[in-house]
Amino acid sequence: MKFNVITLFPEIYDALDYGLIKKAQIKKLIELNVINLRDFSLNNSGQIDDKQFGGEDGMVLQAEPLKNALKSISNSNASLVINFSPQGEILNQQLVNELRRRNSFVLINGRYEGIDQRFIDKYVHIEISLGDFVLSNGDFASIVFIDALSRLIKGVAKEENSILNDSFYNGLLKGPVYTRPKSFDGKEVPKVLISGNHKKIAEWRMKESLKTTLKKRPELFDKIKLTKKQRKVLEELQSKLIL
């Protein structure tokens, strides 16, 4: 999977030179191509933005440098071009799972008051937002996006099966987890987890996942289809909650 990143601050992506993403690059499971937008300035000053038409405050990234940066990417026509913007579709696990089928991306990272709409209209395929808040730039969103997709690529995560139990992967939140020691501040690890009974452990994890989701994000149940067994356990949990 290849990530082509168009940015004003390439050094931000040094943050990806650690952990799973670094190992994935070494294994050539992902490729990161960082492009400095200032290299495509229309003048010698490195300027890539200008004042807004209409007289409002704030600078806007110009369309021409963005276009030239995009055209510099080999085979860019085969890539999905993404602009990170508050106006975009909310990034969630379902969208991540859909986009993991793509092999190449071009990530546009705006600054200031955004980018010229004419570039978006002609070259951007999808706009994505991390949520209903505003960041100082799109680069932080890009880093989140790259990490979210990369960890799903076969061979990136050492414990690949653990991904299947992550929050949101199946639409639910993950339940609590424990490690040594068995007793901490007088509180014991649930006995089922040290019983060695894998069937009962799986049932406990399923129940705790439903319980956590019910307690913290009950609206998620409106978006997923539960199995018959999950539905039965959820109804029992709901009845206890009512009582």
- Which residues carry out catalysis? 86, 113, 151, 166
Rounded distance, CA 137 to CA 189, Å?
Answer: 43
Residue 188, C-beta contacts closer than 8 angstroms, at least 6 positions apart: 182
Residue 103, C-beta contacts closer than 8 angstroms, at least 6 positions apart: 1, 2, 78
Q: Is the dihedral of CA 64, 70, 75, 78 positive or negative?
A: negative
CA atoms within a 13 Å half-sphere pointing along the CA-CB vector of 20: 16
Rounded distance, CA 234 to CA 227, Å?
Answer: 10
Rounded distance, CA 122 to CA 118, Å?
Answer: 6
Q: Measuring CA to CA, how many Å separate 96 from each of 58, 100, 180, 237? A: 32, 6, 33, 30
